[in-house]
A and B are shown apart, each in its own frame.
Chain A
Amino acid sequence: MSRIQGVMKTLKGQGRKALIPYITAGDPEPGQTVGLMHTLVEAGADIIELGVPFSDPMADGPVIQLACERALKHGTSLRQVLGMVKTFRETDQATPIVLMGYLNPMEAMGYEAFADAALDAGVDGILTVDLPPEEADDVAPLFAARNLDPVFLLAPTTTDDRIRAIAEHSSGYVYYVSVKGVTGSAEINVDEVAAKVAHIHALTAVPVGVGFGIRDAQTAAAIGRVSDGVIVGSVLVDTIARNQTDPAQLKRALTDLLHPMREALDSLAS
């Protein structure tokens, strides 16, 4: 069982929901990323989605676009991101790390070299925004051979046949994109999400994490009630942007955001 599957199973046994924060590696500058990852864990993260910056983040709104630009200004490369995970693992062997990004940096590194390096660094899962399962024939076996969980996206527009097929290719969890839009853009419609996630649960046993539009304890609890986990991205990245010159204040601000979400999620446990 992978580290992600272990965490999801334990949480399920406790009747708890996964809190999955996202930050972009290298933002505001590469030296701070590992520290921020530890902050996320201290504030209650179960799994971390670590964004690999890309020059053309087509699925992201302005907040994460700017995070990519800040990270790339410091030359943050995929190899460096793997180095950050390795450093994080020196003191945290428990928290699963999912790398989230776009395909081209992995393709440029070479899929086998990337898979080897990801395993060596202590990465647990890979979420590639612009890689649907249909195009993953080359990479899927490389990830499977190294016990790296492929996390695929589901969307409001995904048909039932595709939900089944995508879930079949996924392990760890599937990421349900709660709104039609880019990251950080729209208000989440809790009733619609609840209906869709219940429908996904009926079609697959793979845990369902929900992201896009979760920005506070209230939305986290509302979505946590109907899913297996909540993914929180743009609101954290925006907090990083607003506190980028003051690391101590940044740490407090991130904690102040995440901790109430953790409590709200845990208050759902029966």
Chain B
Amino acid sequence: MSIKLTEEMLSTLPDARGHFGAYGGRFVSETLMDSLMTLEDEYQRLKQDPEFQAAFDKDLAHYVGRPSPLYFAERLTRETGGAQIWLKREDLNHTGAHKINNTIGQALLASFLGKKRIIAETGAGQHGVATATVCARLGLECHVFMGAEDVQRQSLNVYRMKLLGAQVHAVESGTRTLKDAMNDAMRDWVTHVDETFYIIGTVAGPHPYPLLVRDFQAVIGRELRAQSLEQAGRLPDALVACVGGGSNAIGMFYPFLTDESVELYGVEAGGLGIATGQHAAPLCAGRPGVLHGNRTYLMEDENGQIAGTHSVSAGLDYPGVGPEHSWLKDIGRAHYVSVTDDEALDGFRKLTRVEGIMPALESSHAVAYAVKLAATMDKDKMLVINVSGRGDKDIHTIATLDGIEL
């Protein structure tokens, strides 16, 4: 099933209670409801406030370094032998990933709301670094919650956060990964609700987070649209982005939702393979449920307990996904697929060797699928990969897999 989306339809999503069709909403304990409603009201007001928007745009230009380039990957295109492959270079942003777009926006919100204490969850550490960065710049107290397992496999980012003045809390509960970091962040929030602003890193969580994170990340798609028209004289035929929570993907897709000719591909972490159960692909292999404040596709067992996930990429190692992606899946507007750890690693190596660009392991999932997809498309077609982050943080992981000790 696929329906033609119009601007008018999109303007009603999410609805007043934060629903994208059957998904989204606000499933939290009562203590947080007032804060969420205040945040929603303030955000709706500030969204229309030229001063807020000007501050956001200025920071994106002069602090983040936007617009990020749209780059034609000529050699990769030639080697692949299909559609033209272009790269949207979010890896060139300050701090090395798309995450900073959102933390700039939310930190501005926090400032306008007068909150001095910031908390965040992080998986790979990119969102934690981006949050610690804006906190350093604005002089805000920063606490980052990170699964103990991720603290180990992303030690470089942990040290970066500490250098930036953040306190990193290693979360030992549950599976000791991103979902548990989010649990502990919500527990901290409930405990310090009056003085704390929670900067959620992805398009999930209770309303209005999926809305405001999407809005802050949509700069990716807006730039891409203008750059495509200017540099290629046309809109792309296919967009490919990795999906963990899905913020880089929704940011890229959103400004193209009404462009029927543009096919959208979200690439989930297939881990050791969907059939093994050792993956992090709720849209491909999960079912709807409620976690972390929203209804969305989840990985869970038959009793509704959240399942452990596996991915070589810490940033994709999450059992849920943003509710707007769940909706886009159900209405058939976007395709959700997966690639395995091994395929993602091949994608990493390919982009590194052929274009001299080292993508994050998260983004490598998009690279791996895009190369397969491009090969099936005609040479006159245009495909764009969102290179959502750079791979420096993953060097240790890759070296370890290669049997090399650094």
> A interface vs B, CB < 8 Å?
54-62, 65, 69, 72, 77-79, 102-109, 129-132, 134-135, 152-159, 162, 166, 177, 180-182, 185-186
Min Cβ gap A140→B in Å is: 15
Chain B residue nearest to A102 in the complex (CB) = B290
Residues of B within 8 A of A156 (CB): 31
Cross-chain contact B300 with A104 (CB below 8 angstroms): yes
> B interface vs A, CB < 8 Å?
17, 25-35, 173-174, 179-180, 183, 186-187, 190-194, 288-293, 298, 300, 302-306
Cross-chain contact A181 with B190 (CB below 8 angstroms): yes
Cross-chain contact A129 with B306 (CB below 8 angstroms): no
Cross-chain contact A108 with B304 (CB below 8 angstroms): yes
Give Cα A107 to B22, complex, Å.
13
Chain B residue nearest to A181 in the complex (CB) = B191
Cross-chain contact A56 with B304 (CB below 8 angstroms): no
Cross-chain contact B187 with A152 (CB below 8 angstroms): no
Can you report 30 A-B residue pairs in the complex whose CB atoms are below 8 A from each other? A55-B305, A56-B174, A56-B179, A57-B183, A58-B187, A58-B292, A61-B187, A62-B173, A78-B303, A102-B290, A104-B300, A107-B288, A107-B304, A108-B300, A108-B302, A109-B303, A130-B27, A130-B290, A135-B17, A152-B30, A154-B30, A155-B29, A155-B30, A157-B31, A158-B34, A159-B34, A166-B30, A181-B191, A182-B187, A182-B190
Min Cβ gap B181→A in Å is: 11
Give Cα A96 to B29, complex, Å.
23
Interface of B is mostly: mixed
Question: Given A56-B179, A107-B290, are A158 and B306 neighbors across the interface (CB < 8 Å)?
Answer: no
Question: Given A59-B190, A104-B291, A180-B194, are A72 and B305 neighbors across the interface (CB < 8 Å)?
Answer: yes
Beyond contacts A72-B305, A107-B289, A132-B30: 8 other A-B pairs, Cβ-Cβ < 8 A, are A55-B306, A56-B306, A103-B290, A104-B291, A109-B304, A130-B290, A157-B32, A158-B33
Give Cα A162 to B33, complex, Å.
10
Residues of A within 8 A of B293 (CB): 130
Cross-chain contact A77 with B303 (CB below 8 angstroms): yes
Give Cα A45 to B41, complex, Å.
43
Cross-chain contact A79 with B191 (CB below 8 angstroms): no
Chain A residue nearest to B29 in the complex (CB) = A59
Q: Which of B25, B192, B288, B304 has the most CB of A within 10 A?
A: B304
Q: Which of A79, A105, A129 has the most CB of B within 10 A?
A: A105
Give Cα A256 to B316, complex, Å.
48
Q: Which of B28, B194, B293, B303 has the most CB of A within 10 A?
A: B303
Cross-chain contact B304 with A104 (CB below 8 angstroms): yes
Cross-chain contact A132 with B190 (CB below 8 angstroms): no
Cross-chain contact A58 with B186 (CB below 8 angstroms): yes
Residues of A within 8 A of B17 (CB): 134-135
Min Cβ gap A197→B in Å is: 15
Min Cβ gap B33→A in Å is: 6
Residues of A within 8 A of B304 (CB): 54, 78, 104-109
Residues of B within 8 A of A105 (CB): 303-305
Give Cα A55 to B301, complex, Å.
11
Cross-chain contact B303 with A108 (CB below 8 angstroms): yes
Cross-chain contact A108 with B289 (CB below 8 angstroms): yes
Residues of B within 8 A of A54 (CB): 304-305
Give Cα A109 to B193, complex, Å.
33
Cross-chain contact B30 with A185 (CB below 8 angstroms): no
Question: Given A72-B305, A78-B303, A78-B304, are A55 and B174 neighbors across the interface (CB < 8 Å)?
Answer: yes
Question: Given A130-B28, A158-B33, are A56 and B190 neighbors across the interface (CB < 8 Å)?
Answer: no
Chain A residue nearest to B287 in the complex (CB) = A108
Cross-chain contact B300 with A180 (CB below 8 angstroms): no
Q: Which of B25, B193, B292, B303 contacts A157 (CB 8 A)?
A: B193
Min Cβ gap B81→A in Å is: 46
Min Cβ gap A114→B in Å is: 10
Q: Which of A62, A106, A132, A185 contacts B28 (CB 8 A)?
A: A132
Chain A residue nearest to B306 in the complex (CB) = A55
Give Cα A76 to B24, complex, Å.
28
Give Cα A63 to B292, complex, Å.
20
Residues of B within 8 A of A153 (CB): 29-31
Give Cα A194 to B34, complex, Å.
21
Chain B residue nearest to A66 in the complex (CB) = B173
Q: Which of A62, A69, A155, A177 has the most CB of B within 10 A?
A: A155
Q: Which of B25, B26, B32, B192 has the most CB of A within 10 A?
A: B32
Residues of A within 8 A of B33 (CB): 132, 155, 157-158, 162
Min Cβ gap A135→B in Å is: 5
Min Cβ gap A117→B in Å is: 13
Min Cβ gap B15→A in Å is: 12
Give Cα A142 to B35, complex, Å.
30
Closest 3 CB pairs of A and B: A108-B304, A105-B304, A155-B31
Min Cβ gap A180→B in Å is: 5
Give Cα A61 to B190, complex, Å.
11
Residues of A within 8 A of B187 (CB): 58-61, 182
Cross-chain contact A134 with B26 (CB below 8 angstroms): yes
Cross-chain contact A131 with B27 (CB below 8 angstroms): yes
Min Cβ gap B148→A in Å is: 14
Residues of A within 8 A of B289 (CB): 104, 107-108
Min Cβ gap A61→B in Å is: 7
Give Cα A55 to B179, complex, Å.
10
Question: Given A104-B290, A104-B300, A159-B34, are A130 and B306 neighbors across the interface (CB < 8 Å)?
Answer: no
Chain A residue nearest to B187 in the complex (CB) = A182
Residues of B within 8 A of A181 (CB): 190-191
Cross-chain contact B27 with A135 (CB below 8 angstroms): yes
Give Cα A258 to B32, complex, Å.
31
Cross-chain contact A130 with B34 (CB below 8 angstroms): no
Residues of B within 8 A of A130 (CB): 27-29, 290, 293
Residues of B within 8 A of A186 (CB): 191
Residues of B within 8 A of A132 (CB): 26-28, 30, 33
